[in-house]
Structure 1
């Protein structure tokens, strides 16, 4: 069933109450792992304050709200809220939403109209019966971090310049949001994360960063990551699909990926919520494809 709004679009109306919040964990097969996200399939009657209040009550790093559905098409208008503010794009909530829709409408192609731009998502069922979602990011970009940006971030993290991998330069990368990419010189440095929450939040607000994407390169095809998210009211994200998309653009820009490649990112391990993200990067394409699954919580 659908109901039209003033713009000629129609809201998805599932049997659940309009504002019921579904809960999924993304980039994992285990509800105890991955990154939890809220999903509201029909938010057509909710204003900004109501969506923010729901996101704050849920308490996850983001909740996705479907605000409209194009008549006769698998196209959805989506907004994302953290407990503190709206964000332009969220990868793990996108995967959670895509899986929730596939479970109700069947797998296939959908298109999400997000504040960051158009994001196509393909869903399919694998040979184990799990629903996989592959989002195609908006065009990515990446540039070297400025000296003042890097210095303020390192100070808030409590890291020294020698803690960084000299072969992976600090960059500001975009894949729907801005993320400062910092590569740790060792796995031990990445594991020892004890930062100034308020100080880093202030730095991030000043520069407009959504997360810090802290990575360690295990091999050419495998990275470990941690993503502080104090501007969203969350100490750390267990899986950050938007940062993974931006990281794909980073790898292309700095010349780490010189031919089409699949990279796996292990995140959340140090906080007890292991997550696995897969990105496909093509040097000839500015968009990153991010793949993962999501499972209902409870």
Structure 2
């Protein structure tokens, strides 16, 4: 059970739970709000709850069939609804598994059905693996790349030519830009309003900035100004899209396993394990989630 079962607003039938995903340390990962029974809430009320919680996303279970282990989820940032959110999906799967037991779960989302498997680890935590909707990717246009670089205050020669800019989809659309150095990735000082305008114009949920540490390990940062958040410490949907990008470009390792380190530059380290199946366009993303203590 979470240690932060916060008092529920009057319209809520269950409290707002707070979990942090893609970590086993409550001080790391990406926090998400989780409402396990939001059947009485409309979109306006869910948005108000998400804004009050203040995390990059809050997940709301709007319908459930516990016997079949099937649930309907909606996701809200403090500013808007989003079709899919990986870290809130993992957090919700772990919260449910702690209450009804580990095993397979299916979430119906605006992006499509998301199958999950949850397991209990030897350390007593719960690990969740989500399987994405089919991924796809395309090269970014010169306008998309130029406008984004200007908003980031990056130059074209800051990019890694071995990892070309693409728009990738794994439930949401994300522009992927690869920094040529770890130092360039670490130095993130962008124009919030300008980047948000570019992203709204093109329908992107985040801009995923990556740096290749090795053929199977990447550092990542994900600005999220369209959600009212400067940066996401762990972005499961972008990790799924990135896995599809690497597969499509022939850059996935032979075993299909990629580790994405995110949140380090924010002081909230997160680890996302991405598994690419060359025979499928779906990508698996694995991580833990743990309750956020009331004092955090």
Class of the TM-score when normalised by the shorter of the 2 chains:
over 0.9
Q: 2:195 aligns with which of 190, 193, 200?
A: 200
Which runs of 5 or more structure 2 residues have no equivalent in the other structure?
1-11
Q: Look up the match of 1:257.
A: 252
8 Å contact from structure 2 (residues 151, 194) kept in 1: yes
* C-alpha RMSD of matched pairs (Å): 0.9
Contact kept, 8 Å, 2:216 with 2:253, in 1: the verdict is: no
- Assess if the C-alpha contact under 8 Å between 1:259 and 1:282 holds in 2: no
TM-score (norm 2): 0.94
In structure 1, the residue matched to 2:185 is 190
- The TM-score, its normalising length taken from structure 1, stands at 0.93
| In 2, Cα distance between equivalents of 1:102 and 1:275 | 21
Equivalent in the alignment of 1:286: 281
Q: Which runs of 5+ in 1 are unaligned?
A: 1-16
Q: For residues 246 and 56 of structure 1, what CA distance do their matches in structure 2 show?
A: 26
Could you tell me which of 198, 208, 217 is aligned with 1:213? 208
Distance of 1:52 and 1:292 partners within structure 2: 26
The number of equivalent residue pairs is 282
Displacement over 4 Å in runs of 4+? none
Deviations 1:208-257 (A, max 9, x none): 00000000000011000000000000000000000000001000111102
1:267: Cα distance to partner?
A: 0.2
Partner-residue secondary structure (3-state), 1:203: helix
Displacement of 1:272 in angstroms is: 0.5
2 CA distance for matches of 1:213 and 1:146? 16
- The alpha carbon displacement at 1:261 in A equals 1.4
Which runs of structure 2 are paired with 1:55-70 in the superposition (5 Å)?
55-70=50-65
Write the deviation string for residues 110-157 of structure 1: whole angstroms up to 9, x where unpaired.
000000000001000111111000000000000000110000000000
**Partner Cα separation in structure 1 for residue 121 and residue 138 of structure 2:** 37
Counterpart in the other structure of 2:49? 54
